[in-house]
Structure 1
Amino acid sequence: MVVANPAAGTYTREMSEAVVRRIAGVGAAVELAVTERPGHAHELASAVGEPGGPALVVSIGGDGTAHDLMAGLCESAPAEQRVPLLVLPSGTGNSFYREIWSDRPWQDALESALSRPRVRRIDLARVAETDGLALLGASSGLAAQTLVTARTVSDTGRARYEAALARAIEAFRPYPGRVSVDGEVVHAGPTVAVGVGGGRHRAGRFTLLPHSVLDDGLLDVCVAGTALPLPALLRLSRDGSHVGGPGIVYARGRRVVVERTDGEALLFEYDGDLVTGARDRYTLDVDPHALPVITP
């Protein structure tokens, strides 16, 4: 089954049609499902585990579409029976596609999936307070603030994120935070950003967790304090060279707890969706080898 999201940032009908033609060209039965509303991809994926369902789900969309399909597939069947997911890029950031296929054209990824498919079971992060799953990862601090600011920006696509980030930087203030990994406090004090995952890349341009491995059974966490100036943090995190810099903590573990310590609500997101509520802490546990994905 091919699931296409026409609301994705760089979606074209021509790409969806080309994908369907190529799959049909190898003699496989293929169904194209075009999403009609938010959450529709989740609904479609949650039904694929029924008898006679598809052997593969192809995502044509962005990171949000990939997240929704992941969540639906995880509801559809136990881990060992889940249908594999192939992600093709049609969004703005396409961080998960980049995670798997680097800068290879989507046509190459599709050919590889059809001619020599390799299934890799990757880890997910489960947020205890919401019982939700993260595919790419979660964050607090500046990245989460940028999502709030984006609500006030009228631009679309990559320009919207760039404008929101610029506004967020102007207004952002570090928060008093604490981060624990497997019960050990790794950071306490003023906090600019916390990233947990998952994927190495976020927002299509930042390599926040450069040492993350998708199927090692661990969550990576990177914490930025205030020792590294914000412009330098943004510049260095494009290629992951912020790690090892002043005020940067990098760790791995099976459980990560992110807290705000002044009693105020912690601004927190995962897979690009802000979490509502007035909580001051979030707990993330690794869900190892939970999702089969098609990889090179």
Structure 2
Amino acid sequence: MVTEPGWAARALLIANPRAGARDRRLIDQVVAHCEGLVPHLDVVHTEYQGHAEECAAGAFAAHHDVVIVLGGDGTTREVASGLARTGLGQPAGKRPAMINIPLGTGNSFYQEIWADAPWREVLDQALSGEHPHLRRVDMAHIREIDVLALLGAGSGLVADVLEVANRMVDVRGRDRYQQAVAQVMSAYAPYEGRVSVDGEVVHEGPVVLVNIGGGRYRAGRFKLLPHSVIDDGLLDVCVVGGQMGVRELAGLTRDGSHIGRPGVVYERGSRFVVERTDGGRLSFEHDGELRTCDVSRYTIDVLPAVLPVLAPPTPPGPGPAHASGAARLAEGVA
């Protein structure tokens, strides 16, 4: 049931018709629902990579109160990057807020904010009423390629799986990634690397996986950074060394139980350097997008509170790992 229009007078809806679900009927349903909540709704269907970022970057000048993303994590990252870059230097209260509705394969950011809440209820809650509830989300800046990451970035196993998955043109959705994981795990070899956090080396030697970010989930199902909070002003890093087998790791990351195991380093900080030390190319990805640059080192910096995101008043999920940054500090978790 559509509620009465609320605080948002003007909204931009950016839909990716090529996202994982590929169901145009859902796009039509979301548009119709939003029209009952927002007096003025502009709708754009993305046509090429980077289009969503361009559209989001223009939302401030067009006086949109909110940008609604209908797509997967890749489209959501593009919109987040466009909003964050444009919003730098602007008053916090004047920036358009973002909300994403899942239409992709992983939908990790939606899960991060809204858990498994139905999208209609999410839109009603976020867009109705007199005042929105916002979380000012941190993002990561990858210096060497000047890219903003929303969920996370890393090297090793995840990037190698993406490289294999991208070659599987006849398989779609999560089946493609499952097959790629099976193929990579059958003959995976760690690389020699080094990871530093705020100038201190936290790992040097064989590396199976490095993941850096503010989101708990990757690919919608793997809890690689279970203690991470998206708005605490810091990023978390998990480094899995060569002591752990990749088959064991795949099972443990389903619920975050890889943390504390031998060979696993978990830290928090503001600046991270990931290097490959054996002279080879460092496989690297961010938000599920593979980077094939011929480099052996990446530097990742946190950009605190750069993205206003519509959210429920209480973050989903129990326990200190899901509390706000201030609450975690008070509990001694941070």
Q: What is the TM-score of this pair, normalised by structure 2?
A: 0.85
Deviation at 1:77, TM superposition (A): 3.2
8 Å CA contact 1:145–1:172 kept in 2: the answer is: no
Aligned position for 1:16: 27
Aligned position for 1:182: 198
Aligned position for 2:107: 94
The alignment status of 1:141 with 2:122, answered yes or no, reads no
8 Å CA contact 1:59–1:69 kept in 2: the answer is: yes
Letter paired with 2:127: L
The residue matched to 1:71 in structure 2 has which SS? helix
Pair 1:207–1:14, CA change in 2 (3 A): same
Deviation at 1:270, TM superposition (A): 0.8
Aligned position for 1:39: 50
Q: Would you identify which runs of 4 or more consecutive aligned residues in structure 1 move more than 6 Å?
A: none
8 Å CA contact 2:193–2:277 kept in 1: the answer is: yes
Letter paired with 2:96: V
Deviation at 1:27, TM superposition (A): 4.9
The alignment status of 1:107 with 2:120, answered yes or no, reads yes
Pair 1:175–1:27, CA change in 2 (3 A): closer
The alignment status of 1:162 with 2:178, answered yes or no, reads yes
Deviates more, 1:14-23 or 1:234-243: 14-23
Aligned position for 1:74: 84
The residue matched to 1:259 in structure 2 has which SS? strand
1:133-187 deviation line (CA, Å, top 9, x unaligned): 0000101000000111012212011111111111111232100011111111111
Structure 1 Cα separation of the partners of residues 309 and 296 of structure 2: 33
Structure 1 Cα separation of the partners of residues 246 and 48 of structure 2: 37
Letter paired with 1:5: N
Deviates more, 1:123-132 or 1:22-31: 22-31
The alignment status of 1:28 with 2:43, answered yes or no, reads no
The residue matched to 1:70 in structure 2 has which SS? helix
Aligned position for 1:56: 66
Letter paired with 1:126: H
Structure 1: runs of 5+ lacking an equivalent:
none
8 Å CA contact 1:202–1:208 kept in 2: the answer is: yes
Deviation at 1:219, TM superposition (A): 0.7
Aligned position for 1:245: 261
Q: Percent identity?
A: 51
The residue matched to 1:30 in structure 2 has which SS? strand
8 Å CA contact 1:11–1:61 kept in 2: the answer is: no
Structure 2 Cα separation of the partners of residues 95 and 113 of structure 1: 19
Letter paired with 2:44: A
Structure 2 Cα separation of the partners of residues 177 and 27 of structure 1: 50
Pair 1:236–1:274, CA change in 2 (3 A): same
Letter paired with 2:137: I
Deviation at 1:119, TM superposition (A): 1.1
Structure 2 Cα separation of the partners of residues 267 and 227 of structure 1: 20
Structure 2 Cα separation of the partners of residues 60 and 27 of structure 1: 16
Deviates more, 1:275-284 or 1:247-256: 275-284
Structure 1 Cα separation of the partners of residues 256 and 60 of structure 2: 38
Structure 2 Cα separation of the partners of residues 225 and 283 of structure 1: 20
Deviation at 1:87, TM superposition (A): 0.7
Structure 2 Cα separation of the partners of residues 98 and 26 of structure 1: 23
Letter paired with 2:278: D
